[in-house]
Structure 1
């Protein structure tokens, strides 16, 4: 899988920061930094940092000069640098981090492990750049069957769009089994010290806004006919109704795992 697979236009990266960071990732970044035990004076690396929300949260504690973010997508890094030019942002692949051995006290990876072609290999790289006794912490979405909102939503989309839709949308939940996740860390030579469930909230202005975020931002959108997309939008209103407020806004629970390990 080449780096071009992950490349976005700058407008898409800006949209990611504007839509997904406040809707989902800001909450998880704070939880991840807290569970990892980021402290003043630590050197912190954020792997697959996107537009940098976890790095920004870490910088609030450790100080910006001590924090580095790495991502394979140049547009994401441009947005990250616009927001926090005082943090170091590097273009690089999680499979071959452009950093020396044992250079960081804490290595973070938020909601990205499931997208790596070789998750255990990426974790080995995180362990390589962590100091002896250093912390490696990751957040991943839980299993699809444990998702009270996303589970029915994905099933509904698959009914309208077929098995390929289920395959595309299921990637996000691929690391959500706690036993599999712990095996990946063990394969990477890391010692797991804690794993826990966190239930976050995905907040959208409406069910239609939820569909825009969860479908239009994925490769699935290019595979849907206009009729199928209309059916998905209609179906979303029904499956998200239990999580819809009187004003039409959606607060969908998102079950995830936080895992912390030592090198």
Structure 2
């Protein structure tokens, strides 16, 4: 895995610090509940990132269970391993999982499906690795237009930093249509497909923190690196553009809806 000082590791640490508590950690419990993760089960977290869901899974399955996290990014895995050395971390492709048929009781993917080169193939692979009595559980963000502050952020990036930066921020929301999402799973051979839409809460200490999380934490993960001078200029403009989401305490708080899909092979 990547060592200290590696730009990919630095980007992964920024992602962990700036995004996990603000957005992702809150979804671990509803995803684990939907997946019926409990003591003694073997669990796979696909596109695990820095391991937020896998870490929570470890507490659920206990010493009699096992948790494996897989990601294509060695920088993410380097951070995940430092945070949770008791989890088995593996570098690999979601579209060609390096596991046997029926290896896991539960296979999960939290906010990763939209980034796979072939989402249908990735779902097929997750179904293949799941035991007949188990399930595949996947979380994806709702559509951009239903995601509160992010349309404004995307417009700001498009205008100030260009289409590559704006598209990097659009990318997490491309699977927000429930009908299309169900069709995706069914075309992969899934059965008993269920979609539950829940609304989480994005909570950042300030507008600056939220936008900086995207500019310094998310965009580099997506291969878009902006100059510091441009970042500072965008942060200044964002203070005004996103002021309606600032609470009396100065925090930036807004709704963050997502779909949780459960399915069987």
For normalisation by structure 1, the TM-score amounts to: 0.89
> What SS class does the counterpart of residue 225 from structure 2 fall into?
helix
- Point out the more displaced range, 18-27 or 218-227: 218-227
- Point out the more displaced range, 46-55 or 72-81: 72-81
Q: Are residues 1:249 and 2:251 paired?
A: yes
1:221 to partner: Cα distance: 5.2
1:223 to partner: Cα distance: 5.6
2-structure distance, mates of 1:77, 1:221: 20
> What SS class does the counterpart of residue 23 from structure 2 fall into?
helix
1:233 to partner: Cα distance: 2.2
2-structure distance, mates of 1:33, 1:49: 14
1:48 to partner: Cα distance: 0.7
- Point out the more displaced range, 192-201 or 84-93: 192-201
Q: Is the 8 A contact 1:43 1:66 kept in 2?
A: yes
Q: Is the 8 A contact 1:103 1:129 kept in 2?
A: yes
1:162 to partner: Cα distance: 4.4
> What SS class does the counterpart of residue 197 from structure 1 fall into?
strand
Runs (4+) of structure 1 moved beyond 6 Å? none
2-structure distance, mates of 1:194, 1:53: 23
Q: Is the 8 A contact 1:182 1:192 kept in 2?
A: no
> What SS class does the counterpart of residue 222 from structure 1 fall into?
coil
Q: Is the 8 A contact 1:161 1:224 kept in 2?
A: no
Partner of 2:225: 222
Partner of 1:100: 100
- Point out the more displaced range, 217-226 or 181-190: 217-226
Partner of 2:110: 110
Partner of 2:52: 53
Partner of 1:205: 205
2-structure distance, mates of 1:42, 1:34: 13
* Cα pair distance change 1:224/1:12, threshold 3 Å: closer
> What SS class does the counterpart of residue 9 from structure 1 fall into?
helix
Q: Is the 8 A contact 1:150 1:254 kept in 2?
A: no
Partner of 2:263: 261
1-structure distance, mates of 2:24, 2:67: 18
1:157 to partner: Cα distance: 2.6
2-structure distance, mates of 1:13, 1:162: 23
1:169 to partner: Cα distance: 2.3
Q: Is the 8 A contact 1:185 1:192 kept in 2?
A: no
Partner of 2:3: none
Deviations 1:128-150 (A, max 9, x none): 10011321011111101111211
Q: Is the 8 A contact 2:112 2:140 kept in 1?
A: yes
> What SS class does the counterpart of residue 246 from structure 1 fall into?
coil
Q: Are residues 1:194 and 2:226 paired?
A: no
* Number of positions where the alignment pairs a residue of Structure 1 with one of Structure 2: 256
Q: Is the 8 A contact 2:245 2:253 kept in 1?
A: yes
2-structure distance, mates of 1:51, 1:223: 22
Q: Which runs of 5+ in 1 are unaligned?
A: 1-6
2-structure distance, mates of 1:16, 1:170: 17
Partner of 1:44: 43
2-structure distance, mates of 1:63, 1:107: 17
Deviations 1:75-110 (A, max 9, x none): 222222222222211111101111111001110000
Q: Which runs of 5+ in 2 are unaligned?
A: 1-5
Aligned-residue Cα RMSD (Å) equals 2.1
